[in-house]
Chains A and B, each alone.
Chain A
Amino acid sequence: MNSAQALLRSSPEMVRIRRRKALRQALQALFSHSILILVSVLFFVPFIWLIITSFKQETQVYTDPLVWIPDPVMWSNYPDALTTPAFNFLPLLKNTLFYVVTTTIGTVVSSTMVAYGLARMRFPGRNLLFIVTLATMMLPGIVTLIPTYVLFKWLGWVGSYAPLIVPAFFGSAFNIFLLRQFMMTIPWDLTDAALVDGANDFIILWKIVVPLITPALLVIAVFNIMWTWNDFFGPLIYLSDSKQYPLVMGLYAFRTRTSVKWSLMMAATLATCFPLIALFFIAQRYFIEGITLTGLKGV
């Protein structure tokens, strides 16, 4: 820096301009943060109310004025809510995990195989198959609902998890599409070398492709976990025995009982949401990527 510039920088005029600029930036940041915090409150207050209500005595749930701090704090709401015959948490959780784990394994394995076929192999009709896959992504579920139900009824599968799990083992359009796009970016030289060395396609897929697309696999796994955890319609129409219910169905059944305590119901509600929210904080990146990739350009 030469002396003329230094002189200019330290001139009272420049100092004032710089100070004013810093002040304006600080004010702008303050303003932005205030709006962001205000919106956060709108989104977060329902959660806070959920937590507060779940620790209340039933008589304090609906009061005027509102009770913000439960007195006494009813820790016993949790053991009470989670062990009532109407909402038996551990078996419900076990069923949910069974549903989540089996469909996730099914869809990841099958979608990877199909995506590999679409991305890396040549066979007549491949492009048509890809276009059909794209079209399927937009198909409204309503149109396949009843014939599919009739089919499962005919197979004798209604009343079991089979209708909810078996389809996952045959791939899903979105997952196949996503994995194919990832596989297309892998250089061919890499797999060709292995081919020359006598490796077959299963070995190439397992040893070369899968390690390279692991982030994408985690994205679809997390996405499927979230979807299955929250799935209500499937269990509602296919399951009939309350011993088989996943958490969401258990919660619904709890609500349909006539003499229900709202404080206990809020405890059950929080318990139903909690595992997924915990998983979100562990694997946040994959949740967000999954959603973001849903909106892929040019689809």
Chain B
Amino acid sequence: MSENLASQLSVKPSRFNMNQRKREAITGYLFVSPWIISLLIFTAYPVIASFFFSMTDYNILRPPEFVGLKNFQNMFFEDPLFWISVKNTVYYALLSVPLGLLVGLLLAMLLNQKLTGIGVYRTIYYLPSLVPAVAATLLWLVILDPRLGLVNQGLRSIGLAPVGWFQSAVWAKPALILMSMWLGSGSSMLIFLAALKEVPQSLMDAAMIDGAGALQRFRHVTLPLISPTILFNLIMGIIGSFQVFGTAFVATGSANTAGPLNSMLMYMLLLYRNAFRYYSMGYASAMALVMFLVLVLITALTIRSSSAWVYYETAGRQ
């Protein structure tokens, strides 16, 4: 990867003398100036400021008041909702991330066949990804109606017990996860499909001649070659699922409820409530900061672990 980066960064010399160089630099800064401004105002300042806000009591109307680590103390020791939201979010992430990877990969493998009309299937599988989260949630509220919804009647007709979905403390999160599979598999599927198409046929043929069965070919040829893509989808999946908001927010009906027994109170929902309902900007900042640090840690650990299971072609060649 580092070698890759270095070769991308080197640029062929093209301009003529020192004076010209200076002019080029000035023009260059001119071209990138919007982005530098954006990085300073919309990235650097907020990241730094969130450390400051997290240590204040701030309701927007009055200037922020420094309170030290009180927000963190409240969060960890006094706010029961905080731990409920952590539990819900971890539950959601632990199921939806691996399931999402698996479904995305399986769909991509289904589509990676040479058959007539395969493009039509690809379109159908991708279509749900175009639906806004709000719209998808409304549709699934109808489909997953506990009494007379499509899914429960289907379950009943094959002799299974119907479940309460969004109206049950036990089934609300599985309902959200089910919906996220429908809504979100399309993009990871396309990313996996692109990776699968890169697996050279010659390697597959060679493995076949050596007597490798379909499973062995998948395990020892395909999987190593698409492992960088698995890593990418894994990291994006983790970052996305920890910040899940729209589906849970709409499924609960209003901003002040979060499903039966707070079963859909996701971390972002609680943060939203504190920031934009109660205007406890300090407390919400502290929550955001904790989530940020946790995500940085998880991402770093995932990337570090990747050297054990991700195969990079360039590294193999050296």
Q: Which 6 A-B residue pairs are closest in the complex by CB-CB distance?
A: A117-B31, A121-B28, A295-B191, A170-B38, A144-B46, A147-B49
Q: A29-B115, A122-B21, A140-B291 are in contact. Are A232 and B235 (CB under 8 A)?
A: no
Q: Which residue of B lies closest to A172 (CB)?
A: B38
Of A123, A136, A265, most buried by chain B (CB within 10 Å of CB) is A123
CA of A280 to CA of B138, assembled, Å = 22
Which of B9, B111, B131, B254 lies in contact with A256, CB distance below 8 A?
Answer: B254
Q: Are B145 and A129 in contact (CB under 8 A)?
A: no
Those of A95-109 within 8 Å (CB) of chain B: none
**Chain B residues closer than 8 Å to A116, beta-carbon distance:** 31
Q: Are B132 and A248 in contact (CB under 8 A)?
A: yes
Query: What string of 1s and 0s marks CB contacts (under 8 Å) between B116-143 and chain A?
Result: 0110011111111011111100111011
Those of B95-130 within 8 Å (CB) of chain A: 107, 110-111, 113, 115, 117-118, 121-128, 130
Binding site for B on A (CB under 8 A): 29, 32-33, 35-36, 39-40, 43-47, 49-50, 53, 61-66, 110, 113-114, 116-118, 121-124, 126-127, 129-130, 132-133, 136, 138-151, 153, 167, 169-171, 176, 181, 184, 188, 191-192, 195, 200-201, 226, 229-230, 232-233, 237, 247-248, 251-252, 255-256, 262, 265-266, 269, 272-273, 276-277, 280, 284, 287-288, 291-292, 294-295, 297-299
Q: Are B35 and A110 in contact (CB under 8 A)?
A: yes
Q: Which of B73-81, B200-208, B281-289 contacts A (4 or more CB under 8 A)?
A: B281-289
Q: Which residue of B lies closest to A284 (CB)?
A: B123
**Chain B residues closer than 8 Å to A201, beta-carbon distance:** 27, 31
* Shortest Cβ gap from A257 to chain B (Å): 11
Q: Which residue of A lies closest to B292 (CB)?
A: A143
**Chain B residues closer than 8 Å to A113, beta-carbon distance:** 31-32, 34
* Shortest Cβ gap from A60 to chain B (Å): 11
Q: Which residue of B lies closest to A226 (CB)?
A: B130
Q: Which residue of A lies closest to B190 (CB)?
A: A291
Q: Are A63 and B50 in contact (CB under 8 A)?
A: no
Q: Which residue of B lies closest to A109 (CB)?
A: B34
Q: Are B45 and A123 in contact (CB under 8 A)?
A: no
* Shortest Cβ gap from B220 to chain A (Å): 20
Q: A176-B35, A273-B132 are in contact. Are A265 and B243 (CB under 8 A)?
A: no
**Chain A residues closer than 8 Å to B110, beta-carbon distance:** 32, 35-36, 39
CA of A45 to CA of B124, assembled, Å = 11
Q: A136-B39, A146-B53, A273-B135 are in contact. Are A40 and B31 (CB under 8 A)?
A: no
Interface size class of B (residues with CB under 8 A): 35 or more
B91 CB within 8 Å of chain A: no
Q: A46-B182, A114-B35, A226-B130 are in contact. Are A138 and B299 (CB under 8 A)?
A: yes
Q: Are B135 and A150 in contact (CB under 8 A)?
A: no
Q: Are A141 and B243 in contact (CB under 8 A)?
A: yes
Q: Which residue of A lies closest to B232 (CB)?
A: A295
Q: Are B150 and A49 in contact (CB under 8 A)?
A: yes
Q: Are A144 and B43 in contact (CB under 8 A)?
A: yes
Which of A33, A188, A233, A297 lies in contact with B14, CB distance below 8 A?
Answer: A188
Q: A33-B115, A121-B24, A192-B14 are in contact. Are A170 and B35 (CB under 8 A)?
A: yes
Q: Which residue of A lies closest to B268 (CB)?
A: A142
* A interface, over-half SS: helix
Q: Are A142 and B134 in contact (CB under 8 A)?
A: no
CA of A20 to CA of B26, assembled, Å = 72
CA of A170 to CA of B38, assembled, Å = 6
**Chain A residues closer than 8 Å to B49, beta-carbon distance:** 147, 150
* Shortest Cβ gap from B110 to chain A (Å): 6
Q: Which residue of B lies closest to A117 (CB)?
A: B31
Q: Which residue of A lies closest to B36 (CB)?
A: A129
* Shortest Cβ gap from A67 to chain B (Å): 10
Q: A49-B150, A144-B50, A145-B288 are in contact. Are A232 and B246 (CB under 8 A)?
A: yes
**Chain B residues closer than 8 Å to A272, beta-carbon distance:** 132, 134-135
Q: Given known contacts A40-B124, A123-B28, A144-B47, what 19 new A-B pairs fall within 8 Å (CB)? A: A35-B110, A36-B110, A110-B35, A114-B32, A114-B34, A121-B24, A122-B11, A123-B32, A133-B35, A145-B288, A151-B41, A171-B35, A251-B135, A252-B134, A266-B138, A266-B142, A287-B130, A291-B187, A297-B229
**Chain A residues closer than 8 Å to B36, beta-carbon distance:** 129
Q: Are B42 and A170 in contact (CB under 8 A)?
A: yes
Those of B298-318 within 8 Å (CB) of chain A: 299, 312
**Chain A residues closer than 8 Å to B281, beta-carbon distance:** 146, 149-150
CA of A181 to CA of B8, assembled, Å = 9
Q: Are B113 and A46 in contact (CB under 8 A)?
A: no
Which of B21, B35, B58, B291 lies in contact with A142, CB distance below 8 A?
Answer: B291
CA of A273 to CA of B150, assembled, Å = 21
Q: Are B107 and A39 in contact (CB under 8 A)?
A: yes
Query: What string of 1s and 0s marks CB contacts (under 8 Å) between B9-37 and chain A?
Result: 10110110000010011111111101111
* Shortest Cβ gap from B199 to chain A (Å): 12
**Chain A residues closer than 8 Å to B138, beta-carbon distance:** 251, 255, 265-266, 269
Q: Which residue of A lies closest to B8 (CB)?
A: A184
CA of A284 to CA of B186, assembled, Å = 13
**Chain A residues closer than 8 Å to B275, beta-carbon distance:** 145-146, 149
Query: What string of 1s and 0s marks CB contacts (under 8 Å) between B181-192 and chain A?
Result: 010001100111
CA of A184 to CA of B34, assembled, Å = 20
Q: A148-B46, A226-B130, A266-B139 are in contact. Are A122 and B25 (CB under 8 A)?
A: yes
